[in-house]
Amino acid sequence: MIIPCIDLMDGKVVQLVQGRDKALEAGTPLEMLHRFAVFPQIQVIDLDAAMGKGSNDDLVQLVASRAVARVGGGVRSPERARTLVEQGAFRIIVGTAAFERELLAEIADAVTPQRLIIALDSRGGKVVVRGWRETTEFTAEEMIPHFEPYCSGFLCTYVDKEGLMQGTNLDWFRRLRAVTKHELTAAGGITTMDEVRELASLGINAALGMAIYTGKLSLEELASSLGSDTQ
């Protein structure tokens, strides 16, 4: 499955390079929803909430109410996760909070593991949290088995290549696929149709941001070339 991404910062749809530098601003969330209408799911990340610099609650609620959306960014309490579901979110993405086991259990209980996706984003081989500003001592490969009871899938971003348009690390995603049967969604540097196809052959979703916002990958090509894989 191909999942277009809507990242929100300061009330705008943006794309960042490696989670730090803003590379571009896109249209409004409603314009993006229209462009992405052919795809069955979209991904919405509130970057301000992830970084602890505020939130874009109104825009998140708007998108979640109009699309089948997986929503993340600053979800660090069961109340927040439950509110997002009530606002229309299809699935909830949790990153930083997953590393507090009791809190993770409470969030999973609040929305059910079937609705929960755990983000394991990696830079330099280690999982990063708090808007990618802090590095843990853990690898995604070793953490996935511990988190499986609490979720139905994992969002794994290869931060080293995020936003650089230089391709991703398919070997890393192959290693992740080997350690879990849960749904996997890949992100970070995916730039070519060959990469999208290779991920699909591994049974891994592709979350796409910079490549579609810059036109490197056209939405029409993605939809037509993959056919039923986009459904």
Q: Where are the beta strands (DSSP E) in the chain?
A: 2-9, 12-17, 21-25, 42-46, 69-72, 91-94, 116-119, 121-123, 126-129, 134-135, 153-157, 183-187, 204-208
- Among the listed residues 7, 10, 160, 229, the single catalytic one is 7
d(CA 12, CA 103): 30
d(CA 93, CA 77): 12
- Among the listed residues 10, 109, 121, 229, the single catalytic one is 121
Give which of 95, 14, 20, 22 is closest to 59, Cα–Cα. 14
d(CA 99, CA 221): 38
Give which of 13, 27, 62 is closest to 5, Cα–Cα. 13
121 assigned to active site: yes
160 assigned to active site: no
User: How many CB atoms within 10 Å of residue 187?
Assistant: 25
Q: List residues with catalytic annotation.
A: 7, 121
